[in-house]
Structures are given as C-alpha cells and as structure tokens.
Amino acid sequence: MGLRLHIRISLAEQKLFVLNEKEAVIASFFVSSSKFGEGVEEGSNKTPLGDFLIAEKIGGLASRGTVFKGRAPVGNWLSDSGAFDADSDLILTRILWLSGAEEVNENTHDRYIYLHGTNQESLLGCKASYGCIRVSEEDLIYLFEICEEGTKVHIHL
C-alpha cells in the first residue's frame, strides 16, 4: 500500500497495535503469545522479544479457515474440523513469518515464529501459544492486506 506502517506487540497487554509513520495507532487487536514466556532459545516454545521484520507472507490466496502445516495448506478448519484436533495449536488462514532484526533474536526465522490465525480465538488476550503470536482470522486477514514484507514489528513486555 506504500504506507509506512509498523507493528508493536505488548505481551503484558496481549495486544497488537498497528501504527502509522506518525506513531498514531490505527488499529489494535488482542493476541496470544507463548504460554512458556519470553525467550529466544531454540526449542523453547517461547516468544522472542525485540525488533523484527515480516520476512515472508504466506497464504494470500487461501480461504478463511485454511490449515497450514509446514507452511502448506492441508485442509480447512471450517469445513473439515473433524479432521483436526480441536485442542491443537493450528495455524490458520495466513502466515506472517518473522525474522529477527537484532543479533539476540536472529534465530527467529529458523524457529518458525509467525503471526498466524488460530482455531482457539477464545484464548486471545491470554498467553496460550507455543511461541508464535496468534491473531484472530479476521484481524490477520486485515494485517496481511495492509502489511508488506519488510514491515517492522516490535515485541515487548
């Protein structure tokens, strides 16, 4: 869109804020970060802190409810929900794959940390994920449309 938007995610509030170039909040949403806390350790399932970039956008043509495994569509939660475990941490609809912009979090892309849709929207606002930032499907579709690869993301306590 040519806008200089960026994203801030407050883990204390479990909220994501979209800001314009003048630092004005233009949208905010509840999210869910890791139930294991914050950190950058490989295999920790923790949400990393610091500065990031949206490295890749995946699923732009996918229908709402598309389930992704290994970043490939494998079904649809809305029409095939019986094929998936309702208690699992499904990755739905879109993926905004983050890469670390600092030395301390440079392994973020290799850890497969995403902003993604979830089948557990009732847990948004609570720490419940396995490292990624869960977003409602509706809010994720909006983010996917307004953010470009290279959009800055800052995750803080």
CATH code: domain of residue 128: 2.40.440
The strand pairing partners of 56, in sequence order, are: 97
Supply the pLDDT for residue 87: 81
User: Checking phi first, is residue 70 left (phi over 0); if not, alpha (psi -120 to 50) or beta?
Assistant: left
Question: In this structure, is residue 135 part of a structural domain?
Answer: yes
- Alpha-carbon distance 14 to 27, whole Å? 14
Question: In this structure, is residue 14 part of a structural domain?
Answer: no
Question: In this structure, is residue 72 part of a structural domain?
Answer: yes
Question: In this structure, is residue 77 part of a structural domain?
Answer: yes
pLDDT (tens digit, 9 = 90+) per residue, 67-116?
Answer: 999 999 999 998 887 888 878 889 999 999 999 999 999 999 999 999 99
pLDDT (tens digit, 9 = 90+) per residue, 126-149?
Answer: 999 999 999 999 999 999 999 999
Question: In this structure, is residue 136 part of a structural domain?
Answer: yes
- Selected residue with higher pLDDT from 82 and 66: 66
What average pLDDT is seen over the chain? 95
Strands (E), the chain: 6-10, 15-19, 25-32, 50-58, 66-69, 72-76, 91-100, 114-117, 133-135, 152-156
Parent domain of 125: 32-149
Supply the pLDDT for residue 3: 61
Domain count, the chain: 1
Question: In this structure, is residue 145 part of a structural domain?
Answer: yes
Question: In this structure, is residue 123 part of a structural domain?
Answer: yes
- Alpha-carbon distance 134 to 118, whole Å? 6
Residue type at 26 in one-letter notation: I
Question: In this structure, is residue 6 part of a structural domain?
Answer: no
Question: How many other C-beta atoms are found inside a 10 Å radius of the C-beta of residue 48?
Answer: 24
The strand pairing partners of 68, in sequence order, are: 73, 91
pTM: 0.95
